Structure 1
Amino acid sequence: MTETFAALLAAHMAADFVLQTGAMVRGKGRPLWMAAHAAIVLGTATLTTGTLHPALFALTLAHAGIDAAKTLSRSTGFVAFVLDQSAHLATLALVALLVPGLWASGLWASGHVADLSTLPALYALFAGAVVAVRAGGFGIGLLMAPWAAAIPLDGLPGGGRVIGYLERGLIFLMILGGLPEGIGFLIAAKSVLRFGTVREEAKLSEYVIIGTLASFGWALLAAWATIALLSRLPPLGIPSFPP
């Protein structure tokens, strides 16, 4: 069951946060755009599991239904984002629970291609990285949106987004690599670099603190969840960073 969930989770993260374009997000109220996204959902699930099981069609319909409900509700904030993704994760878990042998019945687990027993663990790593970096970018962006209009942002275009990607990616690697103490260095380095910018501007200072703590917290949760999932899968044999 865990292998099936890992495969479906990787497929979902690829479909929603890697392959879904801005035009698809904006056009989900139109049947063609919704159908295009649904096709990607089905395609990625088929690719990661190595099978075109009927359960994947049901999963695709559920995914489209959740997206349609969110579109009709016109909810666009952080809470709506979390509820939407929670509903998607619930459907993945339900399929894994009802069809636990989905991965085992697929092409990749058959052994006809190669020994791919570690593939589910790689799926878990991929999914965790996407959650930490890419999904975190959307989530933190929506969380901070109510305050963004009150903050004078005169830095590089997209610079804050890139900084967020980098810091969450580094935290994810540090936790999985067994170097949590490195996060303290990251906090110190960011504090020093930001000090001159925010020390005389209360609003900007609070905005940066809230955004940083939220970003760090998101990355930590993603890393811990990934470790929990990896603990139930065949080990990759990758040593942690410390000797």
Structure 2
Amino acid sequence: MSSEVSSANGLNEAGGLFIAPALADKPHWQGHRDRLRTKLLNRGAGALDDYEILEVLLMAFIPRRDVKPIAKALERKFGCLSAILAAPAEDLLKVPGVGETVAAYIKAIAELHSRAAREEIKAREIISSWSALVAYVRRELQHEKREQFRVIFLDRKNQLIVDEIMGHGTVDHAPVYPREIARRALELQASSLILVHNHPSGDPKPSRADISITREIIDVLGPFDISVHDHLVVGTSGVVSFRTSGLI
């Protein structure tokens, strides 16, 4: 036995050789974490696969465990990153390895993403940043399991005042009250607005009921000189604009 080995190792009570912890092999996942961090820092987040991005997030709250199986399980259950971020906490908790801390962290990341997107559209005239608006409403609503009716209220400069949920319903219907939308628009001193709702079925094609309620809202707002710029219908396959479709 060399002096180097004998200084690091020793004999156990039974007289057998034991290896000092400092020289013992690291858990396989420890080396993987180190390599993943190095890849992220040296090559940028764009070099990581979706599940690897999830691993990096999970590593912060699961310090002594292989998190790759958890990341893969999240990806399998929800299908994509946007669906994971949109998932209710109770659904996240059903994934093996995801506890309350991890679920809360994922929801916090989702909220940061939403707030950053709102800041982007609030800082500019909505009409001139239409692609950012469409990306925002799609991110907010494409994975909603219940129909949600939202109204984006705008000022005279077509800048965002507030984005509010005005109706929350079932898988195929959300109650909408045109007079309540008018009351809120007057209260906020809005000059115009954009209607937004989702189709949980995934198909964003406007229904007859969608067209009818849009016309009712336009008629109610008309006497107050408040215009409806557009009505956006969101589905997993995309976003349909009433104005682009010739429905307004």
- In the superposition, the TM-score normalised over structure 1's length comes to 0.28
Q: Which has the higher contact order (CA 8 A, sep 6+)?
A: 1
Pick the structure with more helix per residue.
Answer: 1
Rg (Cα) greater in structure: 2
Pick the structure with more strand per residue.
Answer: 2
- In the superposition, the TM-score normalised over structure 2's length comes to 0.28
